[in-house]
Structure 1
Amino acid sequence: MVGRVDVARLAGVSPAVVSYVLNDSHPVAPATRERVVAAIDELGYRPNALARSLATARTHTLGLLLPESANPYFARLSSAIEDAAFEAGFAVLLGNGVDSAARELGYVRAFLDRRVDGIIAVPGGDFAEGWRELQAAKVPAVSLDRLQAGIDLPSVVVDNAGGARVATEHLIGHGRTRIACLTGGEGLSSAQERVIGWRGALADAGLPVDDQRLAFTPFSVEAGHAATLELLARDPEIDAIFAGSDTQAVGTLRALADVGLRAGEDVAIVSFDGTPISDYTTPRLTTVVQPYAEIATEVVRMLLTLIEDPEQDRSRLHRVLPTTLLRRDTCGCGPAARADADGALALAGTSAPTTRIEQNQTEPKEFL
């Protein structure tokens, strides 16, 4: 097996200099560094990760705690985070908390046992105990997608209220007046913020805000289907639905078909997330798109900043990113309204042939 001594011998340096190059821990002359790197490449030397972690007190691993990685939104988000972390030289360990405080705490402890350098968490349960253990271990963490009251976790979220407002205003612009809202669990900050946006748009338009047209339900196809049927049973005159996720909206589409209503005609729909599935429904979903790559880049950047400088005031690290409305078929936009799709698609970074996008007016917010 090739070792550090072999690299040193081929490069004509001491083993200590090889260590300096590998760990970037001491200044090394450029020519010397080049010789060491060339020797590493020629011999195919691969440093022992465990030994390096013991020497540097870093493992170059991050823990990622999600509610459910099978959910299309979290699947896309975790992929983007893994890409951003890999670019920064970090591997990612994944845990599914399934919105259970006990299971989330178990994963926090498992991550700590594996000496991760930091944790990105999308908390679904009560994360207070997990946060206390992270503080005691002096391991930095960033909250993603949602916030928890009473916990001063640094965070990266999107403008949920602004995105929901734009979605609802778009439905109002199509002449819809009896607009329902179905969104995630009542205890989730992201779900509550989307309700705030829905309520605000209705109030500003002078339309009644009727809680009979509001449903809190899990972010799943099955829950979206059941909640839509319940909403229609409460008020058969509903003419539009703002769905808090694409996954729920898929269930909404099925529910409308089950009762003989046409999506985009009898009942308009705008959903939230902008996952790939939204482009493969019939009709295709109009949706509020989250900026996945930007979210991932920002949350990894914020966590690595905390890893490098643990003494920062963590309570002031908070980033809110804007969303984008993609207009397709379920909102009622016809081909004429999407005539300028091609120019907008370049901005959206999508190849869908009949999509129009419009940027919501919310600007990114950062508190550092």
Structure 2
Amino acid sequence: MTQVRRSDVARAAGVSPAVVSYVLNGGPRPVSTDARRRVEAAVAELGYRPNKVAQALRGTRTHSIAMLMPDHLNPHFAELAQAMEDEAQRRGYVLIIGTAANDVEREQSYLRSFLDRQVDGVVLISASAKPDVHELERARIPLVLLDRAAGGSSHSSVVTDNRAAAALGVRHLQEHGRTRLRFLSGPADLEPVRDRDRGWSDTTGDTGHARIWRSDFSREAGYRAVRHALSGTGPDFDGLFTASDAQGIGALKALREAGVRVPDEVAVVSLDGTEAGQYTLPTLTAVVQDVSNLAAEAVKILVSHSSDPATGPVHHILQPSLRRLDSCGCGSSLA
């Protein structure tokens, strides 16, 4: 089968090959509505597919972006990846996804692989508190730090207001009359975790973090942490806030196995608001991160940086909301 070339599309549409390029690449020059329609019709009729590898070798955009996350089993990261893919597809980009498995060396290997594929930009949820991105910087590949980043960074970032999110969850427990609270937080070296700790301290006055436990962001870690805390005579707390849905799901299992009634004896609120929390028993009240908006802002920034590399870093901090379900005592909103 003969390969369809750009010149074939131009001939069928009655335009120059340059105009075909402008339509397919979104610029750099404007194209009339009529010419655009004729080019799009010719592309569809001839089944033309641009050679992205050849474009990359010529130094033009590949219309591909990469996302690297620490753990695909965490429901929050899984939903972020899906939202990123949806947003990239909507904008005409292919998304390449890698999982570092919380391993810094594996993260570096993925970043080098993304460079080899000449992606137009990278969205990074790093496994490290201080990710090594010097190779991306040297290659001038646009980078957006997502979910785990602090404003003021030399790289663009999109995050939820973690301090406000923690405060919102703790206040809700207090509104239910819970006074003996515990916080199952995450690894203390991560900036978002430190912000969540600050939100806890703001609301409880526990500035010394005496009532904070720590674990990784996983269901197993949340289960083990709460199981260990219940190994004595029973819970010495009547409210539990967890720094992630994954930990919250594990905590619910530990409480149930120990015979602790949720929310009657212990009310539970988590932070993330993933779909998985709507199918636990009881359903999980959560402070919700807007993954669709996080993804949309991250892709928007990457596309902007790719089109204009001189654009300076952009920092977006999104506000959380509260989803009231069964684990706090509010009752389920599901039909």
Q: Report whether the alignment pairs 1:96 with 2:93.
A: no
**Partner residue of 1:49?**
52
Question: Residues 209 and 56 (structure 1 numbering): CA distance in 2 closer, same or farther, change over 3 Å?
Answer: closer
Query: Offset of 1:91 from its aligned partner?
Result: 0.9
Q: Is the 8 A contact 2:56 2:118 kept in 1?
A: no
Aligned residue type for 1:282: L
Query: Could you list the runs of 5+ residues in structure 2 that have no partner in the other structure?
Result: none
Query: Offset of 1:54 from its aligned partner?
Result: 3.5
**SS at 1:7 equivalent:** helix
Percent identity over paired residues: 42
- The structure whose RCO (Cα within 8 Å, separation 6+) is larger is 2
Query: Could you list the runs of 5+ residues in structure 1 that have no partner in the other structure?
Result: 342-351, 354-368
Q: Cα deviation per residue 1:159-217 (whole Å; 9 max; x = unaligned)?
A: 111111111111111111110000221211222211211121112xxxx6674431111
Query: Offset of 1:16 from its aligned partner?
Result: 4.5
Q: Is the 8 A contact 1:118 1:139 kept in 2?
A: yes
**Partner residue of 1:258?**
257
Alignment TM-score, normalising by the size of structure 2: 0.91
Question: Residues 140 and 19 (structure 1 numbering): CA distance in 2 closer, same or farther, change over 3 Å?
Answer: closer
**Partner residue of 2:328?**
331
**Partner residue of 1:4?**
6
Q: How does 1:1-368 map to 2 (within 5 A)?
A: 1=2, 2-23=4-25, 24-55=27-58, 57-129=60-132, 131-147=133-149, 152-203=154-205, 211-233=209-231, 236-314=235-313, 317-334=314-331, 352-353=334-335
How far apart, CA to CA, are the structure 1 residues paired with 2:317 and 2:41?
44
> What is the RMSD of the two structures over their aligned residues, measured on CA atoms?
2.3
**SS at 2:72 equivalent:** coil
**SS at 1:250 equivalent:** helix
Query: Offset of 1:13 from its aligned partner?
Result: 4.2
Q: Cα deviation per residue 1:34-84 (whole Å; 9 max; x = unaligned)?
A: 333332222222222223333452111111010012211101011001111
Q: Is the 8 A contact 1:142 1:299 kept in 2?
A: yes
How far apart, CA to CA, are the structure 2 residues paired with 1:43 and 1:149?
48
Question: Residues 202 and 148 (structure 1 numbering): CA distance in 2 closer, same or farther, change over 3 Å?
Answer: closer
Aligned residue type for 1:75: A
How far apart, CA to CA, are the structure 1 residues paired with 2:261 and 2:134?
50
What is the aligned length?
331
**SS at 1:102 equivalent:** helix
Q: Is the 8 A contact 2:129 2:190 kept in 1?
A: no
Question: Residues 107 and 178 (structure 1 numbering): CA distance in 2 closer, same or farther, change over 3 Å?
Answer: same
How far apart, CA to CA, are the structure 1 residues paired with 2:193 and 2:29?
49
Aligned residue type for 1:155: S
Q: Cα deviation per residue 1:197-250 (whole Å; 9 max; x = unaligned)?
A: 1121112xxxx6674431111111111011112334588321110011111111
Q: Is the 8 A contact 2:129 2:189 kept in 1?
A: no
Question: Residues 313 and 209 (structure 1 numbering): CA distance in 2 closer, same or farther, change over 3 Å?
Answer: closer
Question: Residues 305 and 34 (structure 1 numbering): CA distance in 2 closer, same or farther, change over 3 Å?
Answer: closer
**SS at 2:56 equivalent:** helix
Question: Residues 5 and 245 (structure 1 numbering): CA distance in 2 closer, same or farther, change over 3 Å?
Answer: same
How far apart, CA to CA, are the structure 1 residues paired with 2:239 and 2:315?
34
